[in-house]
Amino acid sequence: MTRKVLTYLIVFFSSGISIAIAIKINLSSHSRTFSENSNLLVEEVNPITDNLTLSESQNFAVLDAIDDKILVTIYTDYPVDSAYYNEVGYSSYSSRVFIYDLTSGSIVDELEISSNELCTDGSLTDNGMLCTLLKMSETGSYQAKVIYQTTNSQPVVVYSCDIPNVSYYLPKSIAFNDGTLAFSYVDPGKKEFGVQVTSGDGNTVPVYTSSKIEDFIGTEINGNGAQFIYYMFMDDTPTLLIGTTESAISIIPLESSQSMHSFCLADNYIFVSLQTKADQSIKDEVLLLDLAGEILFRQEGGPYFNATYDKATGFFATDMKYNAYSIIPATNNGALSWNRKGINLPNDTVAFFPTSSSTCIVTCGDFQPKILQISAY
């Protein structure tokens, strides 16, 4: 049987020297390949469907990853004759939400959920999970709940509110290195939005709150393990907000003519893909900013989406045609620039889930996605 082989091109920079490394991924069952010139191992993860029975109508999504564990939801679309069916917005329900051990092929913890709830987001720590659930009703009302559960304990609702059935109103979360979690939220009833932090004991407090609901753009949030970054308006200006587990620490205004495609926060840089309108022209640009907001690099290009920071390889992103890229900041003759290398993946939706300083989970496809892992050995 002919075996299909994919090749990752990953570029590392050390002391200003770039080293291109080709890493082959054998797509035969449970395959692994060592690269010749690096300490990276890339392998196809054993499909979780080897150990879980799914019906033809069931799908699954990976929500987060840490070490060798992934957070998974199994969900099903409502049939068109269901009272919960929607032509616009979410129209699915989760039957299970659990933490799955990729090494042992077993479920190590599970979140108990009610009927007609859909898990739309989640984050993992060493000791638990934080999940967003969308509760649907036959009357067309929707409630968002953020649930925190430590290992083998009872779940605790740390936040809830009524929202419209649209994705950018749903809370999204990230995990910090110390086990704390942060989630973004918007409460249309109270006309406020912001970011809250949940500590290991489940205590949840706001670290940023705005009562100017007109400044709300969405709930997209990400981080670098020590800080979070959030996108909003402030005084009619698109703005990036950087914060910690305790407070907001930096407010970075962008140009009023700019609108965001994607962004992510690294240890020392912010990667931004945006659109700039000037006179009669519109152009897509890529920016690298320092954490104070100073532009270190600016170039036309993109747009890029799903921007993700991985400590081992730099930034990951995809373009409008689902092509995936590895993007590495580099210093050439004292000036900061970037290097973009294509990742030869199937032309399908891709999601990246960095798990630690040396591992990244990649999912490819919408229906029962393929799971790949890049790790150090």
Three-state DSSP class for 335? strand
In this structure, the chain runs to a length of: 377
Integer Cα distance of 135 and 312 in angstroms: 37
Q: What DSSP designation does 171 have?
A: -
Which segments within 28-68 are labelled E, that is strand?
Answer: 32-34, 40-44, 58-66
pLDDT score, position 41: 58
In angstroms and rounded to an integer, the radius of gyration of the C-alpha atoms of the chain is 21
Q: What phi and psi values does residue 51 have, to the nearest 5 degrees?
A: -115, -5
pLDDT score, position 42: 58
pLDDT score, position 357: 60
Are 147 and 130 in contact by the 8 Å Cβ rule? The answer is yes
Integer Cα distance of 329 and 18 in angstroms: 11
Instruction: Please state, as a whole number, how many other Cβ atoms lie within 10 Å of the Cβ of residue 89.
Output: 13
Integer Cα distance of 25 and 51 in angstroms: 22
Nearest C-alpha neighbor of 183 from the set 271, 64, 78: 64
Integer Cα distance of 163 and 166 in angstroms: 8
Which segments within 188-227 are labelled E, that is strand?
Answer: 192-198, 204-210, 221-223
Residue with tokens 């170039």: 299
List strands edge to edge, sheet with 142-150: 117-125, 128-136, 142-150, 156-162
Q: What DSSP designation does 215 have?
A: G
Three-state DSSP class for 332? strand
Residues of the chain where predicted confidence (pLDDT) is lower than 50: 1-40, 377
**Sequence-separated (6 or more) residues with CB below 8 Å from residue 168:** 217, 218, 219, 220
Tokens of 286: 């890529």
pLDDT score, position 359: 77
**Sequence-separated (6 or more) residues with CB below 8 Å from residue 241:** 195, 208, 229, 230, 231, 232, 248, 250, 251, 252
pLDDT score, position 47: 83
Integer Cα distance of 124 and 357 in angstroms: 15
Query: Which pTM does this prediction carry?
Result: 0.86
**Sequence-separated (6 or more) residues with CB below 8 Å from residue 229:** 221, 222, 223, 240, 241, 242, 263, 264, 265, 270
pLDDT score, position 3: 28
Residue with tokens 């984050």: 123
Nearest C-alpha neighbor of 30 from the set 14, 15, 47, 13: 47
pLDDT score, position 293: 94
pLDDT score, position 375: 61
Are 31 and 45 in contact by the 8 Å Cβ rule? The answer is no
pLDDT score, position 152: 74
pLDDT score, position 311: 81
Q: What DSSP designation does 78 have?
A: P
Instruction: Please state, as a whole number, how many other Cβ atoms lie within 10 Å of the Cβ of residue 202.
Output: 16
CA-based diameter of the chain, in Å? 64
